Amino acid sequence: MLRVGLTGGIGAGKSTVSALLAAHGAVVIDYDRLAREIVEPGRPALAVIAARFGDGVIGADGTLDRPALGSIVFGDPEALSDLNGITHPAIRDLAAEREASAGPDAIVVHDNPLLVEMGADAHCDVVVVVDVPVEVQVDRLVTIRGMSADEARARIAAQAPRDTRTGAADLVIDNTGPEGELARIVGGVWDELASVAAARREPDGD
């Protein structure tokens, strides 16, 4: 198995790359989805969150009230750190479960916006970062997602800086060009990943 970490700043194109890699045959583990799964009603993490932050973060239907929780942790580093201390281990465990069910020859892509922030890049065989200049990020968030430029900048500022992410990368995908160009670049990245995976399967590989 080859464990690939995939990350990128908000709106940089990570999900687009992830979908392209899946089309080539990668087994993709989507951490945004895991983050939602671990707080579904009945999951232990939801009860721990309610115990720490109060029943006000649970809606009338028993699901997590994300805006209520967001307003508690936004701008409060200690509260955010407590929340991460509850969610990150649960996400890691679920990811490990999903990875264990992939075949031994699989190329498993951990599609994780917080790969670097969680320190999970250290556990990957190959770290791929989708990168665009901040101005391109802002432009796409404004034109495609309908955010205000201020909101886009605030969300970008809440993430690890661009250099920190690219500094952790084995491969940087420049997504400044059109989507067709991205598909071509990802095709090349897939070929590289496949050849690394094949080399590891050789009797002399590690």
Looking at beta carbons only, is 15 or 84 nearer to ligand ATP? 15
CB of 141 to ligand ATP, least distance (A): 8
The pairs formed by 178-183 with CB atoms below 8 angstroms and a separation of 24 or more are: 179/16, 182/13, 182/16, 182/17, 182/20, 183/20
For position 10 contacting ligand ATP by CB under 6 A, the verdict is yes
Beta-carbon count within 10 A of 136 CB: 16
Contact characters 77-116, ligand ATP, x per CB under 6 A: ------------------------------------x---
Task: Mark the segment that binds ligand ATP (CB under 6 A) among 33-41, 61-69, 76-84, 178-186.
Answer: 178-186
Residues 158-177 touching ligand ATP, rule: CB under 6 A, are 175, 177
**53 contacts 39 by C-beta, under 8 angstroms:** no
Task: Identify the residue among 2, 4, 6, 13 touching ligand ATP (CB under 6 A).
Answer: 13
Residues 119-158 touching ligand ATP, rule: CB under 6 A, are 140, 144
For position 182 contacting ligand ATP by CB under 6 A, the verdict is yes
CB of 204 to ligand ATP, least distance (A): 37
Give the binding site for ligand ATP (CB under 6 A): 8, 10-16, 113, 140, 144, 175, 177-179, 182
